[in-house]
Amino acid sequence: MGVETFTVEPIGWVESPLIDRDQAPKQGDEGSPEAWLVFEERVREGLRDLGAGDDVIVLTWLDRARRDTLSVHPRGDLTRPREGVFSTRSPDRPNPVGLHRVRILAVEGTRMLVRDLEALDGTPIVDVKPVLDKDTER
């Protein structure tokens, strides 16, 4: 019996000086350079209430990840025992969606400058959501 699947159509792409997975920080607040979110013109209306100073959650599709990985050494440290991927933030996982909390520094049309984004250059953007109080208050 076939399992239903769903299609992600990227709404934009990341422009970043990070081009090599081995050199990228593991998390956004570990030295990520500033990066641009470059959105498709067709989603402009959806962006209209986002502005400089907003903290948002960016979802990406980590297109260079392995999808057949179910356990990893956390943070790539071979001295640590393997863990199931769903209790890690490894990019390698069945559906490699990246979750990034970033701050918007500037907006220029459909381009947004952000900080704390560890995604590689060219990474597709899946979605952007506001940070809710519950993300920070409990």
25 binds a second copy (CB under 8 A): no
72 φ, ψ (degrees, to nearest 5): -145, 160
Binder of a second copy out of 45, 78, 79, 108 (CB under 8 A): 45
55 C-beta neighbours (distance < 10 Å), count: 14
- Residue 113: enclosing H or E segment and its boundaries? strand 111-115
CB of 105 to a second copy, least distance (A): 16
36 binds a second copy (CB under 8 A): no
Question: Which residue in this structure is represented by tokens 């940070």?
Answer: 131
132 binds a second copy (CB under 8 A): yes
Q: Around 2, how many Cα atoms within 13 Å sit in the side-chain half-sphere?
A: 3
Q: Around 98, how many Cα atoms within 13 Å sit in the side-chain half-sphere?
A: 26
134 binds a second copy (CB under 8 A): yes
110 binds a second copy (CB under 8 A): no
CB of 91 to a second copy, least distance (A): 11
Contact 130, 54 (CB under 8 A): yes
Question: Which residues contact a second copy by CB under 8 A?
Answer: 3-11, 27-29, 40, 43, 45-50, 54, 56-57, 59, 61, 63, 70-71, 83-89, 93-95, 97, 99, 101, 124, 126-130, 132, 134-136, 138
